[in-house]
Structure 1
C-alpha cells in the first residue's frame, strides 16, 4: 500500500489542474481498494455546499451537478464530524440522502473520510461497494485516511490555482482570495503583481559531451562575467539605501562565482568532457542538495541563492542577450524563491511590496525588505505563483496575508488603512520632541529596536529617545566571515553617535534558532532549544571578547552604551559573562582608552528566567524582556512557521501573567525594567505594559509615534484599571477585543488599524 500511495501522490502532483488531479485520485483509489465506487466531494465555501467533483463508478453526468448542504447526507455528516464514517448498509442510516442522478442506489457499503488542510475541511473522499456483506476493514480505512492526509495540500494548491483563475467550484467569479503566510516586513501594499520566474531551467538541461573544451570554457567564462556585471549593477543600484555591510550580500554572490569555488568545479567538469550547461547543472545540483539537507534553517536558505546563481549563469549560456522587463508603478514582486538580486532588478521608486512562497523572517530578502520599508509576506506555501502574474494584489505585511482579486469593499478597507496610516504619521509628527508622559504625570521612555543603519533616520525622525535593542548579529549575518574588531567598532560607533547622548542597548551576538551564520554552521534537530544566544558566545569567548572590546572602544567619549546578554536562563551564565566583560574593560583602560564601565543587563526571554528575576537583578544593572521569544517559548509556537503561526498570541493570558510577574519582582528590588518586541509597539500592549510597571518600551520606529500619542492622552489610573480587568480573562481573543473596545471608547479607534490589529478588523 505504501508504494501505491507514493505512486498516487506523484501522479496527482504532476496533474495539470484540479479536475485532472481529482480524476486521478478517484481512479487510482478505486483500483487500489478494489471497490465499485470512489468519489470526491469538495466543499464550496461560497455556497456552503459539497459538490460532486469526480467519481469512478457513479454516473459521470452527475459530476458538477449534484450538491449537498454542509451538513446534509452522509457526506455532510463526515464533514461536520471531521472523522471517517464506515457503514455496512448506508441506505439504512437516518442521514442517508439519495440522489437518483448518481445511480448510487445499488451501493450499500460506505466509507467516507474528510479531506482536511490547516483545520479547514476541503471535502470528503468516499468509497462504496454494491454487495451488502462487505465492511471496509481497519486497514482499508487507515489507507483512505492516509490518502486524504497526503493529498490535502495538493488539492488545496490545485483548488487555489483554479480560484486564482477567477472561478469558484460553483462556476461563479471568485473574489477576496486570501492566502496565509508569515509576516516578513510590516505595512500594507496595494499594487500589481509581477511574477519573477527563474531565467533558465537547470532540470531541463540534457547530458552532452564536447570535443571543443576551449570553446565551452570560454562560453562559461563569458556567462560568469555577465552575471558578475549584473550583480555589481544591482549592488550599485541599491547603494543609496544600503550601507557597505548590507551590500556585502552581493559580495557573497561574487565570491561563490570565484574560480576556487563553484566556477572552478564547473571548469573541472568541462575539462573532463562535459558541455558547459551540463557541467553547471551537475555542480549546482550538488551544492543545492548539500545545503537543503542541512538541519539549520538559515543555511537551508542559502540553497536559494545557489539556485538563483545557477539559473542566471545558465540564462547567459542559452541566449546571447537578455531583454529588459517593464515594471509598472506600484509593483509587488512575487516569486517562488525571492532573492536579493531579484529585489534589485525593480526600480526602487516602483517597488512597493514583496511576496515569496519560500523563506521566513530570517531570509536575506526579509532583512533587506525591513531595511527598505517594503511590506513583505514570506512562506505563502499554498499560493499558485504561476497564476499570479499581472494581477491586482494586496500585501498585508502586518498579518502575513495576501489578497488576490479583491472586491471593492476589501480594496477600500485596505486603501483606508494605507491612507489613515499616512495621515496618522503626518498628524503625529509634532510629537517628535514631546515627552511620553500620561495625563496624570507618569513618565515612560519610548525606545526603538534597530539592526541596520537604515533604521536610524526613521527612528530619529519619529522621536526615539534611545535604543532598547540593537541587534548586533545583523552585521555578522550579512558577512561571509566574522567581522574584525575594527569593523565591529566602526559599525557600533555609527549607532552610538547617531543616538548620542541617548542610550544604545547593544545585545551581544545572538545566533542560533532562526539566526545562523553561513560561515559558522549550527546543525541541530531543535535549534530553538539548543545552542543559541549566550550559550554560543560563552562557549566561544574569543568571539565574545572581541565583540565587547569593540563595543567599549566605540563608546569612547560618548558613554551611552549599555550591554545586554541574550538567552539567559541561570545566574551562572550572568556571572561568567560579567567576568569576561570586566576583564575586557580593564584591558581597554590599560590600553589608554578612556571609557566608563557600561551598564550590563540581561534579556528575560526564557520561561525559567521569569522565576529568577530577583536573583538576576542582584547581579546586573537592568532587565529587559524579549517578548517575542518569551511568548514563543511559553506557548511552544514557532512564529515563523505558517502551520502554527495562528497559535502565537501576544495577549495570551499566560504571557500577560508572566509579564506582570516579571514587572512585580523587578520593581520590588528597584531594578530598571524595559521590554522590546511586538507587544511594546502594539497600542493596546503598550498601555498594559505601562500599567504593569515597565519603565521603557522598545519597538519598531514606525510604531513609536502612535504609542506615544496614546500614552500622552490617557492616565495611569485608567490603564491600571484596564489591566486588572484583562488579567481576569482567560482567552487571548477576548482580551484583545476588550482592549480594542476600551481604546475605541477613548477615541483611539484609528490607531488600531496598524500592526497585528489589522487582522481583527479584516
Structure 2
C-alpha cells in the first residue's frame, strides 16, 4: 500500500481481500483511509466498484467514481474526499484473491496508462505473497475474518492412489537452510549453547582443513580459511544469530534468517568478487546447520497414523517411520515418476506431490487428509469432510476384499474376448503385490529403480540379481524390461543431468546409446539372468528415430552372441520399442518391421502430444488422458501395429483406469499393463461387459471434442453398467465442503 501511495502521490490505496469462507471482500490494508475501518468494512462478492473489478477480472479506471451506478459509500472509511478510482484485481492461479485500489484527492481525472500498468505490476507481484500468507494463516486455523478455518485444501499431482487420514510430521534433509521450519525457542539458553558448540566445531574443522592443505596451497589461497574464521568471529555472523536467538527464535531458524539476509545482501552487489562471497556464506551456514542438526531428527515422534511431509521426500525418510505407522506422503517437490512416488505405489501409501504455495513447515502436527486420487491435501478437516473421506477409505478396503476372489480368474469379457493384464514394477515389493492380485506378467519393469537406490552404477552381477528375482517370480509369464530410462524427471545423484528443458533433452535411449558401456552391461546382465527361464523381453524407451532402434539391436545382438560364447544357454529375447513420442506414432510400420512388439507409454505420449508437463501442478488441469488427440493417436497406433502383424500393448495410467481400460480393449490393444493396485478393478469391469459394448462406447466418445465431456460420458457408461463404485471419489465432495472453501 505504501509503495502505491508513493508512486501515485496524493492517493489512497486500500487493499480488499476476498474471504473464501464468507465470499465477501474485506478491507485488509489501507494508506490514506481511516485505519479503524480495516477488518471492519466488507462488501458482497459483486457489490460496489470493488466487486465489479473482481467479477470482471480486469482493471477499472474511472474519472468520477461517486457518479458510477455501482459506487458504494462507506462513511467509516473517509473516502468521500476521493473521486478518481483505479481498481486492479489480484489474481493467483485463476483465482481472484482481492482487489488493489488507488483513489486520488485531486479533481476528477483518469489515471494514465503508465500508472495503470504500474498498479497491474504491483498486483501481480502481490498475488503470490498474499496466496502464501493466506494459506499460512488458514493452516494456523484463522480465516481473514479471524474465524476458525477448516478444510484448507492445496492442489498438487497424484503420486500414489488412495486416501489417508493422519497427522503431519514435517521432515527435512540435513543441512538445507531453505527448508528449516520456523519455531520459537523453548529454552533460549539451550539454543545459545547449541549454536556456540556448532560455531566452535566448524572453526575446528576449518583449522584442521587449513592445516592439512598448508603444504599444497600458496599463502594467498590459504588466506581464504582466515576469511572463514573471521566470519565466524563473535562480532560477525554468530553475533547476529545470537541476537535473534535472544529474541525467541530457535538456533536453526535464527541461523537461516541471518544467512539468507547476508546472501541477499551480497548477491545484490555490483562487484563480482563480493557477489561470490554469497557462496562462502551459504557454505558456512550449511556447515553450522549440520552440527545443529546432529541427532535432531532421530528423536522425531511419529504418531500412530503418520503423514510424512517434506519439501522433498527421500527414500531414507520413509525408512525412518516405524513399520505400520506410515499412512500418507506429501512432498512439495517431486513428481509422479520420482523414486519416492514409485516406492509409495509399491507400498500402497497414498501420496500427493508437486504442491505449490504451501507453507510446508506449518503442517507439522496438523491433522491432514491426503487424497492421492485427485492430488489434494486438506488441513484441519471439518467433521463432515473427515467422515466423507473415511467412508472412501472404508469403501476401498471393502472393495479390495471383494475383488480377491477374481485373482485366479481370466480377464475375459462376457462374449469371450481375452485381454491379458500385466503390471508395472520396479521393486520386489511390487512383485509380491502383483502376484497376489493375479497379474499375468510384467508389462514394464523399470530398470532405473535399482540404479536410483544406489550411490553408484550397480555392477553387472548386482543388476543380474535384481533382474533374476523379477524373471523367476513371474516365470513362465513374460517380463518386459525397459532399458535404463533416466533424464527428464528421473536423475541419478552420481550421474547428474542438468538441462534447461530436460523432457526434450538427453533422456532414455539417447543417454544409453551415448554411453554404450552402460547399455552393454545392462543388457548382458538381463540376458544372463534369463538363463533357464527364457521369459525376458527387452524394451527400448524414448524412441524417435529408426536409427536408434537399429543401433540398439546391433548392440543387443552383439551381447547375445558374446554371452552365448561364454557358455550361457539362453534364447534371443523379443525386443520391442516404446511409443511415447509423437514422431513414433507416425513410424509404426517402419518400427514394426524391425522389432517383435510395440508398447505405448501413454503417460509420456499424452505429455508430449499436449505439450503439458504432467508433473507441473500449474498446468495439471491441461493434462488429460481422455483428450481427443490422445485417443485418436492411440487408435492409430493399434491399427497400424496390427496392420504390420505385430502385437501392441500399453503401459500407463490410462490402462489402470477402468474406463480407460475399456476404451483400450475396444481399440484392440493386446495387453494392458498397470500398477498392481489397479488390476483387480480393471479385471472386474472387463469381465462384466461385452467387447461389443466397449466398441460402441469407443465409437461414441471418438465423436466428442472435449476431454472433460469424454470422461463424463465414460463415467456415465460405467455408472449405468453398475460400476460407479470404481470412480474415485465415489461421491461429490460438495456436501462435505458445504460452507467451506479453499484458501
TM-score grouping bracket, smaller chain normalisation: 0.7 to 0.9
1:590 equivalent to 2:562? Answer no
Q: 2:4 aligns with which of 29, 39, 49?
A: 29
The C-alpha deviation readout for 1:407-428, integer Å capped at 9, x for no partner, is: 2332222111111111111111
User: Which residue of the partner structure matches residue 743 of structure 1?
Assistant: 718
- Asked whether the equivalents of residues 168 and 367 of structure 2 are also in contact (C-alpha less than 8 Å), the reply is yes
Separation in structure 2 between the aligned mates of residue 672 and residue 761 of structure 1, nearest angstrom: 47
Report the RMSD for the aligned CA atoms in angstroms.
3.5
Separation in structure 1 between the aligned mates of residue 381 and residue 644 of structure 2, nearest angstrom: 54
- Asked whether the equivalents of residues 197 and 335 of structure 1 are also in contact (C-alpha less than 8 Å), the reply is yes
The C-alpha deviation readout for 1:623-680, integer Å capped at 9, x for no partner, is: 1000000011111111111111121111111111111111121122221010000000
1:707 equivalent to 2:682? Answer yes
User: Which residue of the partner structure matches residue 497 of structure 2?
Assistant: 522
User: Which residue of the partner structure matches residue 660 of structure 2?
Assistant: 685
The C-alpha deviation readout for 1:214-253, integer Å capped at 9, x for no partner, is: 99359999xxxxxxxxxxxxxxxxxxxxxxxxxxxxxxxx
| Matched residue SS, 2:517 | helix
The C-alpha deviation readout for 1:31-88, integer Å capped at 9, x for no partner, is: 2332420011111232222121111112222222222222222211211221112222
- Asked whether the equivalents of residues 357 and 379 of structure 1 are also in contact (C-alpha less than 8 Å), the reply is yes
User: Which residue of the partner structure matches residue 163 of structure 1?
Assistant: 138
User: Which residue of the partner structure matches residue 420 of structure 2?
Assistant: 445
Distance 1:677 1:215, change over 3 A: closer
| Matched residue SS, 2:727 | helix
Separation in structure 2 between the aligned mates of residue 566 and residue 761 of structure 1, nearest angstrom: 44
User: Which residue of the partner structure matches residue 279 of structure 2?
Assistant: none
1:51 equivalent to 2:39? Answer no
Deviation of residue 553 (structure 1)?
A: 1.1
The C-alpha deviation readout for 1:520-548, integer Å capped at 9, x for no partner, is: 22222111111111111122222212211
1:352 equivalent to 2:327? Answer yes
Separation in structure 1 between the aligned mates of residue 227 and residue 88 of structure 2, nearest angstrom: 57
- TM-score norm. by structure 1 comes to 0.81
Deviation of residue 380 (structure 1)?
A: 2.2
Separation in structure 2 between the aligned mates of residue 718 and residue 645 of structure 1, nearest angstrom: 31
| Matched residue SS, 1:698 | strand
- Asked whether the equivalents of residues 448 and 484 of structure 2 are also in contact (C-alpha less than 8 Å), the reply is yes
| Matched residue SS, 2:17 | strand
Q: 2:463 aligns with which of 488, 491, 495?
A: 488
> For 1:531-542, what aligned pairs fall within 5 Å after superposition?
531-542=506-517
| Matched residue SS, 1:160 | helix
1:640 equivalent to 2:628? Answer no
Distance 1:173 1:220, change over 3 A: farther
1:216 equivalent to 2:204? Answer yes
| Matched residue SS, 1:616 | helix
Separation in structure 1 between the aligned mates of residue 197 and residue 385 of structure 2, nearest angstrom: 57
| Matched residue SS, 2:490 | coil
| Matched residue SS, 1:753 | coil
Separation in structure 1 between the aligned mates of residue 56 and residue 597 of structure 2, nearest angstrom: 53
- Asked whether the equivalents of residues 602 and 651 of structure 2 are also in contact (C-alpha less than 8 Å), the reply is yes
The C-alpha deviation readout for 1:170-204, integer Å capped at 9, x for no partner, is: 44432221111222222211112233468888699
Deviation of residue 28 (structure 1)?
A: 2.8
1:314 equivalent to 2:276? Answer no
Deviation of residue 29 (structure 1)?
A: 2.2
Separation in structure 2 between the aligned mates of residue 46 and residue 550 of structure 1, nearest angstrom: 59
The C-alpha deviation readout for 1:132-169, integer Å capped at 9, x for no partner, is: 35432222222211111112111011111222232322
User: Which residue of the partner structure matches residue 465 of structure 1?
Assistant: 440
- Asked whether the equivalents of residues 177 and 286 of structure 2 are also in contact (C-alpha less than 8 Å), the reply is no
Separation in structure 2 between the aligned mates of residue 307 and residue 415 of structure 1, nearest angstrom: 47
User: Which residue of the partner structure matches residue 724 of structure 1?
Assistant: 699
1:176 equivalent to 2:164? Answer no
Separation in structure 2 between the aligned mates of residue 722 and residue 335 of structure 1, nearest angstrom: 43
- Asked whether the equivalents of residues 150 and 379 of structure 2 are also in contact (C-alpha less than 8 Å), the reply is yes
> For 1:353-372, what aligned pairs fall within 5 Å after superposition?
353-372=328-347
User: Which residue of the partner structure matches residue 405 of structure 1?
Assistant: 380
Separation in structure 1 between the aligned mates of residue 62 and residue 202 of structure 2, nearest angstrom: 72
- Asked whether the equivalents of residues 395 and 403 of structure 1 are also in contact (C-alpha less than 8 Å), the reply is yes
Distance 1:509 1:214, change over 3 A: closer
User: Which residue of the partner structure matches residue 649 of structure 2?
Assistant: 674
| Matched residue SS, 2:13 | strand
User: Which residue of the partner structure matches residue 124 of structure 2?
Assistant: 149
Distance 1:398 1:619, change over 3 A: same
- Asked whether the equivalents of residues 213 and 271 of structure 1 are also in contact (C-alpha less than 8 Å), the reply is no
Distance 1:79 1:736, change over 3 A: same
Q: 2:630 aligns with which of 636, 655, 670?
A: 655
The C-alpha deviation readout for 1:72-116, integer Å capped at 9, x for no partner, is: 222112112211122222223333222232222221221111111
Q: 1:422 aligns with which of 386, 394, 397?
A: 397
Separation in structure 2 between the aligned mates of residue 702 and residue 420 of structure 1, nearest angstrom: 14
Separation in structure 1 between the aligned mates of residue 348 and residue 368 of structure 2, nearest angstrom: 18
Deviation of residue 117 (structure 1)?
A: 0.7
Separation in structure 1 between the aligned mates of residue 545 and residue 733 of structure 2, nearest angstrom: 38
The C-alpha deviation readout for 1:307-331, integer Å capped at 9, x for no partner, is: 99967732266x9x88834332112
Separation in structure 1 between the aligned mates of residue 101 and residue 86 of structure 2, nearest angstrom: 6
1:631 equivalent to 2:619? Answer no
Distance 1:467 1:199, change over 3 A: closer
Separation in structure 1 between the aligned mates of residue 38 and residue 528 of structure 2, nearest angstrom: 75
Deviation of residue 475 (structure 1)?
A: 1.4
1:93 equivalent to 2:68? Answer yes
Separation in structure 2 between the aligned mates of residue 401 and residue 444 of structure 1, nearest angstrom: 33
| Matched residue SS, 2:7 | helix
> For 1:270-309, what aligned pairs fall within 5 Å after superposition?
273=229
Contiguous gaps of at least 5 residues in structure 1: 1-25, 222-264, 294-305
Separation in structure 1 between the aligned mates of residue 171 and residue 584 of structure 2, nearest angstrom: 46
Q: 2:310 aligns with which of 335, 349, 356?
A: 335
User: Which residue of the partner structure matches residue 432 of structure 1?
Assistant: 407
Q: 2:359 aligns with which of 384, 406, 411?
A: 384
| Matched residue SS, 2:467 | helix
Separation in structure 1 between the aligned mates of residue 558 and residue 729 of structure 2, nearest angstrom: 45
Separation in structure 2 between the aligned mates of residue 137 and residue 152 of structure 1, nearest angstrom: 23
User: Which residue of the partner structure matches residue 224 of structure 1?
Assistant: none
Separation in structure 2 between the aligned mates of residue 163 and residue 609 of structure 1, nearest angstrom: 48
- Asked whether the equivalents of residues 220 and 276 of structure 1 are also in contact (C-alpha less than 8 Å), the reply is no
User: Which residue of the partner structure matches residue 592 of structure 2?
Assistant: 617
Separation in structure 1 between the aligned mates of residue 147 and residue 676 of structure 2, nearest angstrom: 44
- Asked whether the equivalents of residues 398 and 756 of structure 1 are also in contact (C-alpha less than 8 Å), the reply is no
- Asked whether the equivalents of residues 399 and 759 of structure 1 are also in contact (C-alpha less than 8 Å), the reply is no
Number of residue pairs the alignment of both structures matches: 672
Separation in structure 2 between the aligned mates of residue 212 and residue 698 of structure 1, nearest angstrom: 57
- TM-score norm. by structure 2 comes to 0.83
- Asked whether the equivalents of residues 198 and 288 of structure 2 are also in contact (C-alpha less than 8 Å), the reply is no
- Asked whether the equivalents of residues 175 and 404 of structure 1 are also in contact (C-alpha less than 8 Å), the reply is yes
Separation in structure 1 between the aligned mates of residue 731 and residue 517 of structure 2, nearest angstrom: 40
- Asked whether the equivalents of residues 198 and 308 of structure 1 are also in contact (C-alpha less than 8 Å), the reply is no
- Asked whether the equivalents of residues 351 and 372 of structure 2 are also in contact (C-alpha less than 8 Å), the reply is yes
User: Which residue of the partner structure matches residue 191 of structure 1?
Assistant: 166
Distance 1:311 1:410, change over 3 A: farther
- Asked whether the equivalents of residues 79 and 121 of structure 1 are also in contact (C-alpha less than 8 Å), the reply is yes
- Asked whether the equivalents of residues 210 and 273 of structure 1 are also in contact (C-alpha less than 8 Å), the reply is no
